[in-house]
Amino acid sequence: MHAHRGKIITLPPNRVWRTYPGGRTLDQLAGAPAPADTHLSEDWIASTTRAVNPPGAQVSALTAQPATPPGISQVRVGLAPNLRDFAQLLSGDPEYFLGAEHVRKYGAQPQLLVKFLDSGTRLHFQVHPTREFARRVLGAPSGKTEAYYVLGVREPSLLPFTSPSAREASGFIYVGFQRPPAPAQLRDLIATQDIAAIEACFDRIPVQPGDTFIIPGGTPHALGAGVFMVEIQEPSDLVVRFEFERAGYVLPESARFMNRDVDFALSVFNFSPVGSTDLAQRVRCRPRPLRDFDAGSRQEELIGPAQTDCFRVLRTRLLGPVVKAENSAVIAIVTTGTVIAEAGGESLRLETYAKCFLPAGLGPVKFTPVNGPAEILECLPPA
């Protein structure tokens, strides 16, 4: 009756249409013969969240997952060949997959959304609502506090949407206004689409693999070109985009301010300045040791209660076999090396950037690195 119990859930690609081009790295991982940046620029991982896209965009997204609403993952139970709708799988045995306490509080959904994001150009300047704003104003259960874990930065020559004169501007993010405009001034900059003046409100933050950042709801931000990363966030697709065109694609009005007006958009912003101390101490997240295992393996906390109560992010560095359980559902991504994962009498080989879902009721899982050290990024729901 419960054939899924005791099994690791593996996660095939779940490409989702977005308003910006990217995804060349994702094409390479999938073995595409001609990798390219398109609007299928993200891979939503163990997702029960539906993507909100402009009219007409859904058709493009459905070419990637024809049987599933955009955003919802199709998954594989252990070594079974057939795919299952992830949301339906969870709803059939929610306490096993997510834990009884989690289900009482959040229902049969993970309460986080994890993505691979691969930017072929700088993303739109944007801002997401806080959870409190989403509940009070939008009647939505979640806002969109998010975090970034950087996996790689492209060579500038691999950025087709960046002009040669601007190719040095890859591998960075903008987080918060360092020089905040007044709300009335920002209204004028948005109306005239004075992007140079908007950009002048920010400082660029260079990024490199292994960096971790937290971007609370209400914080204006943008991801630079050529960044391949894991994004961990609240399970929503709520966004105000205050830049209307990127790489030749012009946002329809409904996709700019969540089908509302500019006054609504301005109410989402946190205009407080985010200075260098804030960037160093609050936005950039430093690893905190959690526990040691045999042979020098160890686990670190990258994002925990000190940063947000919306989700947790851990990292386990494997120098030898490790047996562990988190007493929680876990979305696990191999970020370095190759790992053999063993549970329920099955053994799965997980290459770099393979991803899987570990149910809360799965019990101990044995992880063994193959031919050298390995790392696993572990994304968990709220405690």
How would DSSP label each residue in 47-68? --PPP---TTHHHHHHTTSTTS
pLDDT over threshold 80, residue 310:
yes
Mean pLDDT of 145-153: 98
* Cα 232 to Cα 22, 45, 62, 117, 333, distances in angstroms: 18, 10, 23, 10, 12
Mean pLDDT of 37-42: 96
pLDDT over threshold 60, residue 61:
no
pLDDT score at 56: 65
Residue range 62-116, pLDDT digits in tens = 444 455 688 999 999 999 999 999 999 999 999 999 999 999 999 999 999 999 9
Residue range 263-294, pLDDT digits in tens = 999 999 999 999 999 999 999 999 999 999 99
R_g (Cα) of the chain, nearest Å: 20
Mean pLDDT of 209-214: 98
pLDDT score at 162: 63
pLDDT over threshold 70, residue 238:
yes
Intervals of CATH 2.60.120.10 along the chain: 9-283, 288-380
For the entire predicted model, the pTM comes to: 0.95
pLDDT score at 20: 95
pLDDT score at 93: 97
pLDDT score at 59: 46
Residue percentage of the chain with pLDDT more than 90 = 89
Instruction: Give backbone dihedrals phi and psi of 9, rounded to 5 degrees, phi first.
Output: -95, 115
pLDDT over threshold 80, residue 1:
no
Distance CA 202, CA 183 (A): 15
Mean pLDDT of 366-382: 97
| In CATH, 9-283 is 1.10.10.60 | no
How far the first Cα of the chain sits from its last, in Å, is 30
| In CATH, 288-380 is 3.20.20.70 | no
Instruction: Give backbone dihedrals phi and psi of 198, rounded to 5 degrees, phi first.
Output: -65, -45
Mean pLDDT of 16-41: 96
> If you average pLDDT over every residue of the chain, what do you get?
93
- Is the separation of the CB atoms in 243 and 192 below 8 Å? no
pLDDT score at 64: 44
Return the closest-CA partner of residue 146 out of 50, 257, 221.
221
